[in-house]
Amino acid sequence: MKAKIQDVRMHKLPTFKDSRGVLTAGESHRDFPFAVARYFVVYAVNGGAKRGEHAHRECHQFLTCVSGSCSVEVFDGLATKAFRLSSPEEGLHIPPGIWGVQSDHTPDCVLLVLASHTYDEKDYLRDKNDFLSFVGKG
């Protein structure tokens, strides 16, 4: 069963504020539907750069901007949808089989990505035609 554009969902994360500052937390199988095997942070992104531009065969991802903001465009082979990530209090779950592109990063943008799998180059679909074949739209 291939993911569809409506399976890409923004999740609101529990946030606790007190006199010392702010804490936002996300849990596996509560705020995103996978256990985390890998994380990465993307930062110091040059204005105008596009990042991502690939899909995954099996890997789920959860994206949250923990500083600044950036745009994320997702594509299921048929429909496109755009999101703006601008707060640690929300995160975007991108299931496998969805093409994703990030752009318009602010200079202070720090994008945190949690992934369900460790790094495996074979899991990446980096060619748009390979992706379209994978999702049955080739």
Identify residue 49 by its one-letter amino acid code.
Answer: A
Which residues are within 8 A (CB) of 67 and not within 5 positions of it... i.e. 6 or more apart?
A: 43, 88, 108, 109, 110
Phi-psi region of 136 (alpha: psi -120 to 50; beta: other; left: phi over 0): left
Query: Which residue number, 53 or 138, has a Cβ lying nearer to a second copy?
Result: 53
- In sequence order, the 6+-apart residues with CB closer than 8 A to the CB of 47 are 105, 107
Pick from 1, 19, 121, 122: which binds a second copy (CB under 8 A)? 19
Task: Yes or no: say if 16 and 23 are a contact pair by the CB < 8 Å rule.
Answer: yes
| 60 is annotated as an active-site residue | no
Only segment of 3-11, 42-50, 92-100, 124-132 that touches a second copy (CB under 8 A): 42-50
Contacting residue, 56, 60, 93, 105, with a second copy by CB under 8 A: 105
Q: How far is the CB of 100 from a second copy (least distance, A)?
A: 15
Q: Which stretch binds a second copy (CB under 8 A): 1-9, 43-51, 78-86, 127-135?
A: 43-51
Residue 28 sits in the site that holds a second copy (CB under 8 A): yes
Angle, alpha carbons 70-102-1 (nearest 5°): 125
Binding site for a second copy (CB under 8 A): 19-28, 30, 35-46, 49-51, 66-67, 88, 105, 108, 110, 112, 114, 118-119
